[in-house]
Structure 1
Amino acid sequence: MFKSIVLPVVAVMGVIASANADEGQWQPHQLPQLKSELKRIGITIPAEKLADLSKHPMSAMVSLGGCSASFVSPDGLIVTNHHCAYGAVQRNATPEHNYIVNGYLAKTRDAELPGGPSTLVYVTEKVENVTDRVLKGLSPSLSGKERHEQVESRIKALIAECESDKAYRCSVPAFHRGGEYYRIRQLMIRDVRLVYAPADSVGNFGGDIDNYEFPRQAGDFSFLRAYVGKDGRPADPSPDNVPYHSKDFLVVSAEGLKNGDPILLAGYPGRTSRYKLPSEIRFARDVDYPAKAASITADLSVIAAATMGNPGYDVRYASVAKSLNNVLKKTQGLMDGFARTDIAAIKDKQDAEFRGWYKQHGKGGSLLSDLDTAIGADMAGSQQEAAWAEATHSDLLKSARTLYRLSLERQKPDAQREAGYQERDLSFIKARLTRLEQSFVPSVDQARWTAALNRYAKVDAKNHPHGLDALLPKADALPGMYKATELADTSKRLAWIGKDPEAFRSSHDPFIQLAVRLQDTGMALENHRKEVDGNLERVIPQYMEAVIAWKKSQGKPVYPDANSTLRVTYGTVAPYTPRDGIIKGPFSTVEGIVQKATNKEPFNAPANLLQAIREKRYGVFKDPVLGTVPVNFLSSADTTGGNSGSAVMNKRGELVGLNFDSTYESITKDWYFDPVITRAIHVDIRYMLWVMKEVDHADNLLKEMTIKYPKK
């Protein structure tokens, strides 16, 4: 149809001068083609330097595997969001030392606390285009499943080749919905320690009430430190390890920003869906999101009821509930956004224009009908998968299924195992199984699963996976299952790793028995997904290639959807108008904390913080225009989930804040970017430094960082 999938992406970059500066989550190597845009908004760092992962400031950016972060000292000190370090805080919290409530500060390196096996730091060192090695020579006669498995086999080979040095973790994610593949090599640091987290009443001020709202006053920041062996290479946690000497780190600027100033933002955004079709939007709007919101709402109610009045249970499920609440509010925001702006209708118009262009410039064939067929199968499969998730909504059952699947996969040569169950994945599986003890109580898990089985029973029978109903336990059988199982004990749970399938089949543990019974049904669902995905992976790249050519003809920007890889976006500090007569931002201040403080969660600010505000002990952190300390600010940067903790930099590449949220009206930007109302929310570095100095007296960290203070 078109000669190349790769070339149009590169070629189109030269015609984006007319594009909105704010839109786009750009791969670093694309930035040299954005010189005029960067210069226009006032960025002074050369675009070529931003494209080089070995040079400042990109060499200071890291991933936490779900959040973003950056080095701020040569001794492995990392700054990220409070909610990104929440797991490490929770891991070390006890009823006697509740670091969630009170915060934690290590005054010395010896006092830094272990982040746990799931707290990891990834330093991206190399990105290379491997599209040909993944896609070249695939036979058009392959079934969807066969095609998917051949692609996966090639990807696993590319990863194995890259991970010959075990210090590295490699991945080969798809870009442009399967049109391009890049191999990414990351140094994986396994010893990560909690250095400093402010009290929850600072880091999470406003809680779920203020989530996605503005103005807000959240001090959403924390510090971690990366440790390695004495040879400078990643090592398992050990008291003999030493701080990692990062190749680069960000200078912190306390000089501040003002309305209209340019910003750069770098991080690891999770997932966007900017190029999805109108039918996919309507499915999300009318089917997927309402079902998801209802399920999470019900689950949260069960957790609240099951933990109420039980000391320690609330701590165990604090992180679970926090995560669910965040997903719920985002899902509700998406539904409200779809109701406010008919994005499907906007996409209808764009789709009609594209199909008209394609009739003239494409080579015809069955591409568009194949596309619609593949998407229809995807949506139908998604509903069955959602039903399966409800039916198996138990942490113990998930553990049992993981263990049994691992035993089956280990009967195969490593290269032939399913991704996620190879030897390279074993440490992650152990970490998940170990981490369960931090966020699990049998009675709560039982209550959640009982409620989920009741929800599953109400799902339209046509969406029940074939054969599943007959395998599921009745609700009245669950108490006996939880009483008889040994999987709630971490050591006994881990002891199943390495056992052969026959040991599972002969087990009397009710959760192991159920995992064995569910295996065939689960595999049928998984194989169907592979068939669906393989057909999508065949047709979507052809569609995207055509879309890229179409957008190129209009002089519009083309950037890949976010996929948890390193991206750069940029924009300006800017207010917005959510509705008639209201202007929000661009700054909130510490005075807002006093105005909102009620001495009750989630507006229970620490007494010493309130006193410092009332006494106006602002020092060098006072903004000359605002006359006080700014807390949060808005920018027009293009962000999404995963960008939490992303470094917000000024025009010189100095750290001026951390991204942590979006406004409620912006949530639908995952599907459609509207520059008029899309705003990201950042914590201002001046508030962070002020809290560290005036409230928590983190003088050791202030001395460790390189901070540029305002000129007197």
Structure 2
Amino acid sequence: MFKTLAFSALPAALLAAFSPAHADEGQWQPHQLPQLKAELKRIGIAIPAEKLADLSKHPMSAIVSTDGCSASFVSPDGLVVTNHHCAYGAIQRNSTPEHNYIANGFLAKTRDAELPGGPNLQVYITDKVENVSARVLQGLDKLGGKARHEEAQKRIKALVAECETDKMYRCSVPSFHRGAEYYRIRQMQIRDVRLVYAPSDKIGNYGGDIDNYEWPRHTGDYSFLRAYVGKDGRPADPSPDNVPYKSKDFLVVSAEGLKNGDPILLAGYPGRTSRYKLPVEIRNARDSAYPLQAAEYQSDLDTIAAATKGDEAGVVRYASVVKSINNRMKKTLGLLDGFARKDLAAVKDGQDAEFRAWYAKQPGVSSAMLSELDAAIAADMALSDEEFAWNVATNSDLLKSARTLHRLALEKQKPDAERKAGYQQRDVSPIKARLSRLEQSFTLKVDQARYTDGLARYAKLAAKSHPQGLDALLPAVADVPALYAQSKLGATAERLALMDKDAAAIAASDDAFLKLAVKLHAVGLSLEERRMEVDGNLERVVPQYMAAVIAWKKSQGKPVYPDANSTLRVTYGTVSAYSPKDGLTKGPFTTVEGIVEKHTGKDPFIAPDNLIEAVKAKRYGQFKDPVLGTVPVNFLSSADTTGGNSGSAVMNKRGELIGLNFDSTYESITKDWYFDTAITRAIHLDIRYMLWVMKEVDHADNLLKEMTIKYPKK
């Protein structure tokens, strides 16, 4: 039996005691920042670390998330700034061929002209974080597999329910350090969010997918939203009677700018990193999972393009979907290129061998833990192959809706505490929002094409990846048109009405997609059951491994921070160029002149005429950089970021907003697995470009007046 011994104190003491290395690596939980005093002081951050750790104090109290992106308040009236691509769904939702806000931009000159962001756009304000590791993990040591996972989930659901007695909050209990710690996070959930201003995609998406992850970059990736609440100041469903949320704090916007070497702070909600994965997991991603995923993305994009050819309304409806898939695909391809450029598996081999040698010398440990770890990871990778195949075989929005409705009806038969997470009473509103949102990003013709092609691709996947029993239940490709002809789920009213039906009514329905969902349920449930078994074993052994890894890193004075998991994090760095190859240096700034240089008049390098005119006339105003002699557009920093950090506030040493994070350089994409200080660079929008466009191009004077802007001294 493996003895934890010195590693058993992980939640309480081990994470609190380390000596960070002199590097910009690390996506730190706010409560860890006081341990980084020396580092923050070294790079020139003037805000006390204790203040940065306090979620109730500026600037952290101004940092918010918006369903997969990061953002920040920039006025006392709930004005939020984030990336253009983070608000793309809301822009697309309100666009029509007659009023194409994607192509032409949108600006509400008055509050009553602001547009609804839609049911999927919400603002979350984190106000409380508690370590609940003991309440989740105590007494689970003797359990394994599904039993362990289910007991942990039962405790997590109880912790969430306890936290959500006040319905203004949305709570979660994510794991940290791959299951070694659990924190309960309380967030105010604002449900009425409106689109205030977005520049044309000729600015907000300049360069399009061609420039995605590339440097030099010239993208004005910003937009503005506003959070609304009821007249009592509490979150409320969207209503004309709602009023702007009174932000407790907001960021001062600084037009003073930065120069090479200046320190920056970045706060947001990074999605997922895999810094502590083993070499075998890297090889699986590199050689199998990522190539399959990239091919699937490209095939799906090709299908959508063919199905919407010559259909302007269809192109608009699927614009957000296409943008999202394109972004994921380019990141996946960048990861593959990064793995080819540098053998990260070999790097991890060296680290793993060093760790195992250190571990073998520790008193009271057994190699059984490492053997159990290897077995659990092998089972995880094998099951992941089947889950990928399942997703390919069910690539239809109508089928996904039918499966959601069927599962909801089944779960409603149980007491709320016993329902599967995602189908409890707290989840009914988000489910309704997803089912409603579909009408803005769906057509029967395109969905039918996606499902037809998905089934054909599934048939070509390795037979061992096909979930047992699935093949016999799937429709033949030739039968797909009949499915769509015999379903009413394309109508939003029909989908929403079915939310109130019980399991018997769903099972008795003659709707073709509901019938298919019922038929597929057993296979899907089997995958879920097996996933719980695999996750339970991982949740038992991986924390033991992580405790040992952290102790090993601590002995070397290396940084110890948890992988990103979509929770609030802070990173820091400096404005910095980089050298991707011998003899070539890139950055750290681009300027408006580069926009004109790239302008071809053909998509995606079409700049607005009035922007080009302003650049050629050198109307730089207060936004001219004294060193560059012009207006900067984007800049690079050494901050540690990943997906989910889009829209993150980039702040100067005083906590003033000087930029928005929106991307990484192509060479940096593998940072999700390994942080290379020499070439890892994040790409940020320089706030001076945003302000310049607002003044000189879009004349958003009402918003410029609303924000508190700190201009450079003359």
Instruction: Map 1:381-400 to 2 at 5 A.
Output: 381-400=383-402
1:127 matches 2:122: no
| Counterpart contact for 1:587–1:632, Cα < 8 Å | yes
Aligned match of 2:665? 663
Unaligned runs of 5+ in 2: none
Larger mean Cα displacement after TM superposition, 641-650 or 3-12: 3-12
Q: 2:19 aligns with which of 1, 16, 19?
A: 16
| Counterpart contact for 2:11–2:180, Cα < 8 Å | no
SS of the residue corresponding to residue 578 of structure 1 reads strand
- Residues 257-304 of structure 1 deviation map (CA, whole Å, 9 limit, x = unaligned): 000000000000000000000000000000000000011111101110
- Residues 73-110 of structure 1 deviation map (CA, whole Å, 9 limit, x = unaligned): 00000000000001111111111110011000000001
CA apart distance, 1:16: 1.9
- Residues 645-680 of structure 1 deviation map (CA, whole Å, 9 limit, x = unaligned): 000000000000000000000000000000000000
Aligned match of 2:230? 229
- Residues 297-338 of structure 1 deviation map (CA, whole Å, 9 limit, x = unaligned): 111011101000113000000000000000000000000000
Distance in structure 2 (CA, Å) of the matches to 1:139 and 1:149: 14
| Counterpart contact for 2:11–2:133, Cα < 8 Å | no
- Residues 362-411 of structure 1 deviation map (CA, whole Å, 9 limit, x = unaligned): 51151000000000000000000000001111010000000000000000
Aligned match of 1:356? 357
Distance in structure 2 (CA, Å) of the matches to 1:474 and 1:616: 62
Aligned match of 2:607? 605
| Counterpart contact for 1:5–1:541, Cα < 8 Å | no
TM-score of the superposition, structure 2-length normalised? 0.99
Distance in structure 1 (CA, Å) of the matches to 2:15 and 2:524: 43
Amino acid at match of 2:498: W
| Counterpart contact for 1:196–1:224, Cα < 8 Å | yes
Instruction: Map 1:697-712 to 2 at 5 A.
Output: 697-712=699-714
CA apart distance, 1:15: 3.8
- Residues 539-589 of structure 1 deviation map (CA, whole Å, 9 limit, x = unaligned): 000000000111111111100000000000000000001111111100000
Distance in structure 1 (CA, Å) of the matches to 2:707 and 2:470: 56
Aligned match of 1:486? 488
Aligned match of 2:641? 639
Instruction: Map 1:30-179 to 2 at 5 A.
Output: 30-140=32-142, 142-179=143-180
| Counterpart contact for 2:10–2:547, Cα < 8 Å | no
Aligned match of 1:533? 535
Distance in structure 1 (CA, Å) of the matches to 2:7 and 2:577: 42
Aligned match of 2:279? 278
- Residues 214-255 of structure 1 deviation map (CA, whole Å, 9 limit, x = unaligned): 101000000000000000000011111110001100001000
- Residues 439-481 of structure 1 deviation map (CA, whole Å, 9 limit, x = unaligned): 1011111111111111110111111000000000001111111
SS of the residue corresponding to residue 583 of structure 1 reads strand
Distance in structure 2 (CA, Å) of the matches to 1:41 and 1:10: 27
Q: 2:5 aligns with which of 2, 5, 10?
A: 2
SS of the residue corresponding to residue 361 of structure 1 reads coil
| Counterpart contact for 1:41–1:571, Cα < 8 Å | yes
Distance in structure 1 (CA, Å) of the matches to 2:144 and 2:13: 31
Distance in structure 1 (CA, Å) of the matches to 2:258 and 2:69: 24
Distance in structure 2 (CA, Å) of the matches to 1:91 and 1:507: 31
Larger mean Cα displacement after TM superposition, 466-475 or 130-139: 130-139
CA apart distance, 1:493: 1.1
CA apart distance, 1:683: 0.2
Distance in structure 2 (CA, Å) of the matches to 1:156 and 1:4: 28
SS of the residue corresponding to residue 24 of structure 1 reads coil
Distance in structure 1 (CA, Å) of the matches to 2:379 and 2:494: 41
CA apart distance, 1:498: 1.6
Instruction: Map 1:461-610 to 2 at 5 A.
Output: 461-610=463-612
CA apart distance, 1:21: 3.1
Count of residue pairs the alignment pairs up: 710
- Residues 469-504 of structure 1 deviation map (CA, whole Å, 9 limit, x = unaligned): 000000111111111110001101111102111111
Instruction: Map 1:281-430 to 2 at 5 A.
Output: 281-361=282-362, 363-430=365-432
Distance in structure 1 (CA, Å) of the matches to 2:281 and 2:43: 35
| Counterpart contact for 1:61–1:71, Cα < 8 Å | yes
CA apart distance, 1:506: 1.2
Aligned match of 1:192? 193
SS of the residue corresponding to residue 266 of structure 1 reads strand
SS of the residue corresponding to residue 225 of structure 1 reads strand
Aligned match of 1:443? 445
CA apart distance, 1:505: 1.5
- Residues 622-662 of structure 1 deviation map (CA, whole Å, 9 limit, x = unaligned): 00000000000000000000000000000000000000000
TM-score of the superposition, structure 1-length normalised? 0.99
SS of the residue corresponding to residue 110 of structure 1 reads helix
Distance in structure 2 (CA, Å) of the matches to 1:460 and 1:9: 46
SS of the residue corresponding to residue 584 of structure 2 reads coil
The sequence identity of aligned pairs, in percent, is 74
SS of the residue corresponding to residue 259 of structure 1 reads coil
| Counterpart contact for 1:13–1:558, Cα < 8 Å | no
Amino acid at match of 2:569: R
CA apart distance, 1:507: 1.0
| Counterpart contact for 2:11–2:181, Cα < 8 Å | no
Distance in structure 2 (CA, Å) of the matches to 1:399 and 1:437: 12
CA apart distance, 1:4: 5.4
SS of the residue corresponding to residue 450 of structure 1 reads helix
| Counterpart contact for 1:317–1:439, Cα < 8 Å | yes
Amino acid at match of 2:234: R
| Counterpart contact for 1:13–1:557, Cα < 8 Å | no
Q: CA RMSD in A?
A: 1.0
Aligned match of 1:258? 259
Amino acid at match of 1:410: K
